[in-house]
């Protein structure tokens, strides 16, 4: 569902919904318009903590219920991203709010995880196609994007514990720039596959957080 499709009905104002933090912004807006109560919010918060404990258990193979604060923060981000993914799959914000009210957070997390896992699988399939149909003279950054950045991102991506992880790309010659979650990575790879196949594409895919200094901050070590 695109931002333009976040259509208001039943009092929900789409201007108050933040796609990058959909679960939290939807809960706040649903509370504002009366689709959720304070008791619902208290239950959701408690259930979030239970779901996070389950994710921590998975991440530690059940060996520990406590992790470093930085690790807990990352796992909480992954939990929220998967929940948001599940909620964004609903046709309307009201239906998504009903899921928040009626379902366990671990269930929403599991559904979102399955969506992002399928996206990861699709990204790997598309990456293989892009690698073997690459342009002969695509340029150094084009080759590095395929052989280094996508290889690193797709090999380390884990939809359970790092669903929110992004890939940072800068290919202005091909209309690609910014920070992309796994769904955006799929769109980029689809675009590259189409370009490799000779299909003219002048469209631009710009992810969030276009950071000009990214490559300066994350220089590759000299080999």
DSSP conformational letter for 63: S
- Per-residue pLDDT at 143: 96
- Answer whether 22's CB lies under 8 Å from 82's CB: no
Nearest to 165, CA basis, from 146, 148, 152, 147? 152
Cα distances (angstroms) measured from residue 14 to each of 21, 22, 92, 100: 13, 11, 10, 17
Q: What's the pTM value of the predicted model, to 2 decimals?
A: 0.84
Residue range 90-132, pLDDT digits in tens: 999 999 999 999 999 999 999 999 999 999 999 999 999 999 9
- Per-residue pLDDT at 19: 87
Residue range 134-159, pLDDT digits in tens: 999 999 999 999 999 999 999 999 99
Domains in the chain: boundaries: 3-103, 116-217
- Per-residue pLDDT at 156: 97
Question: How confident is residue 86, by pLDDT bands cut at 50, 70 and 90?
Answer: very high
Residue range 14-31, pLDDT digits in tens: 999 998 889 999 999 999
């Amino acid at each position: 569902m695109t931002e333009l499709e976040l259509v208001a009905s039943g009092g929900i104002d789409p201007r108050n919904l933040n796609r990058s933090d959909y679960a939290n912004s939807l809960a706040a807006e649903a509370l504002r318009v009366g689709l959720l109560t304070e008791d619902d919010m208290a239950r959701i918060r408690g259930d979030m903590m239970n779901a996070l404990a389950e994710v921590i258990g998975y991440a530690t193979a059940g060996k520990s219920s406590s992790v470093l604060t930085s690790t807990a923060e990352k796992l909480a981000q992954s939990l929220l991203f998967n929940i948001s993914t599940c909620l964004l799959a609903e046709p309307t914000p009201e239906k998504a709010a009903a899921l928040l009210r009626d379902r366990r957070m671990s269930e929403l997390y599991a559904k979102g995880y399955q969506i992002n896992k399928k996206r990861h699988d699709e990204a790997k399939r598309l990456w293989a196609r892009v690698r073997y149909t690459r342009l002969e003279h695509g340029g150094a950054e084009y080759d590095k994007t395929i052989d280094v950045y996508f290889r690193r991102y797709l090999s380390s991506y884990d939809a359970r514990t790092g669903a929110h992880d992004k890939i940072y790309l800068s290919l202005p010659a091909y209309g690609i720039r910014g920070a992309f979650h796994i769904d955006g990575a799929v769109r980029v790879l689809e675009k590259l596959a189409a370009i490799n196949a000779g299909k003219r594409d002048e469209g631009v895919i710009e992810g969030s957080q276009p950071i000009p200094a990214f490559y300066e901050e994350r220089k590759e070590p000299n080999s």
